[in-house]
Each structure stands twice: as C-alpha cells, then as structure tokens.
Amino acid sequence: MDILKSKVVKDATNLYFKNQRFEIINRGTSIIIRLKKEAGFKILRLILIAPNGYTSNKPNELAPHPEVRKATIKIKGAIKSENANLSYLKNIIKYIYYTKREINATLHKTYALADINNIYYKEDIRSSKDNFFVVKENGNGFYHNLINLSSNWVLLILKKELKPIKKINITKYLNNSDSKGVFQEIYSEIQDNGDNLFAINKKLVSKFVLIDYNLTILFLINLLNIYETGKHEPCTVFGLILKIAKQNPKQTLNYLNIALSNKEAPEYYLTELIKKITKFN
C-alpha cells in the first residue's frame, strides 16, 4: 500500500491544510506532513507511523524537543488499506518518555536511551481517539518516542507550541569567507536533508570540518537557531560541532561558554555540547 495515496491521508491533508502547499518528510519508519511555510508559534503536523514503526531513529531512542514549549498528540486511528476509512483500535501506540529534562543523553548524540531502571522513565499504552500531552512545560516528555504496536499504519495529529528563538544571521560567513561556497552548501544541505547529510554527503562534511574552526564554530553556533521541520536540523548542527570539537576541544568549549553566557543559541544544545566536549579532554 502506498500510504500517501490512501483515502485517509488525502482526506486529512485536505482537511488540515486545504489548498496550501505542504512538505512530506520521510523519517524511516515514520512520515511527517507539514505546511511548507509554517507561521507563528502554534504548529499542526500530521504524523504517519509505519507498522511496528516509531518516531525516533530507533525504538529505544528518545529524541529531545528543546524547541517545544508544549505539545499534544491525537491518535486518529489505523489505516488498513488505501480505500478504507480509519479503524479505531485499542492499545496501538506506546508512548515512552522521561518525566524530566535532566537526563544524560548519549556521548556523541543528542538523544537519550530507554532505561527501565531509571525512576524517571515511563511507558504508556494509548488507543485510537486518545488525545494527550506528549511534551509538557515542566519537562515531562522532553525526551520521548512514539512506537506503533500494530501491523497497520497509524495517523497522528501533532499540535505544538514553539519557544521563541533567535534569528539566524550567517551573512558575514557567506560574504566574507574564502570558503563561502562550502558554508552556503552546508547550510542548504542541512535545510534540505537534515541529519541525512551525514549519510548522503560525507565529502561535503569532510571538506567543511577542515575549514578554520574559528569560523566554522561561530557559524554553527549561530546555526543552532535553525528552524526544526522534522528533519532534525539543530541536531545536525550539533553533530557537526562535535566533529570539529574532537580536534579542537578547548577552543570549542571557550566559544560555547561565551555563547551560553550571551544566550546566542538554545541553552539545551549549548549545555549538552559543553558537557560532552568536556569529556573529550
């Protein structure tokens, strides 16, 4: 079944997006459908989870959501065939999450791992028509994953309220650097492909990390403010900073601490980078 051609998905995009242009983002075992131009701080997206799929990269990984003030998920139901209406099934989504923000993420990544022995780790089983907070302002669900327990595609409606972020200003790197072509290309690749960059354009990544770190680190710190569309763009920037920091840990830490003091980028990414790079020394 081509899930994007199903009656349910067509009806949902018509209902929620009407005649506006939308973008389809394939995340492996899940698909995000979002307006091409999202405006304001309140965002609505459709999420499709494949049979036995999940919204993070792996079933035991819980992705962070520092860009979100709060968010809800409504489980619309299961899609059994292209021409069928929604089926309302019980116990089809497992919501795994931590109840606080202060969880140690893995050393070279931003995600946390499921740990049933951690008192802050929880699992809930949800059914069709359930509507619940997936991220709360108190940190509940900051790290989470949604897992499809059924053998059918499942449609979810995500509504989230975003935190304000600084505007990106990379003009000086594009205009005044001898490597402006590489800066422009890496920026475009992050926007277009997110964390797939590391798999599909290793040559560009290798070229970028060889540029003077005094330029690349400042460029990337500014880029931590990039808008998150579902492609994990800020996490991609995070990964690039870690790559450069392996060769220049002390200098990178200095730039990150200054950025944290001046609130130049989201606190979560800066503090996580500082914690991880400190362990490089």
Looking at residue 281, its pLDDT comes to 63
Structural domains of the chain, ranges and CATH numbers in brackets: 3-162 (2.60.120.10), 171-278 (no CATH)
| β-pairing verdict for 153-162 and 42-49 | antiparallel
Q: Does residue 170 carry a pLDDT above 90?
A: no
Question: For residues 209 and 188, what is the distance between their CA atoms, to the nearest angstrom?
Answer: 16
pLDDT band at 189 (very low <50, low <70, confident <90, very high): very high
| Tens of pLDDT, residues 65-78 | 999 999 999 999 99
* Number of other residues whose CB lies within 10 A of the CB of residue 159: 15
Handedness of CA 125, 131, 135, 136 (dihedral sign): negative
Handedness of CA 204, 209, 213, 217 (dihedral sign): positive
| β-pairing verdict for 68-79 and 93-98 | unpaired
The region of weakest confidence among 133-137, 148-152, 165-169, 218-222 is: 165-169
CA dihedral 80→84→86→91, nearest 10 degrees, is -20
Q: Does residue 193 carry a pLDDT above 70?
A: yes
The proportion of the chain whose per-residue pLDDT surpasses 70, expressed as a percent, equals 98
Distance of CA 23 to the CA centre of its chain: 15
Looking at residue 200, its pLDDT comes to 93
Looking at residue 108, its pLDDT comes to 67
Average of per-residue pLDDT values in the chain: 93
Within the chain, how many helices (H) and strands (E) appear? 9, 11
Q: Does residue 107 carry a pLDDT above 70?
A: no
Looking at residue 90, its pLDDT comes to 97
Q: Does residue 33 carry a pLDDT above 80?
A: yes
**Residue in 31, 34, 32 with CA at minimum distance from that of residue 51:** 31
Question: For residues 194 and 105, what is the distance between their CA atoms, to the nearest angstrom?
Answer: 20
The region of weakest confidence among 23-32, 173-182, 221-230, 269-278 is: 173-182
Question: For residues 128 and 119, what is the distance between their CA atoms, to the nearest angstrom?
Answer: 28
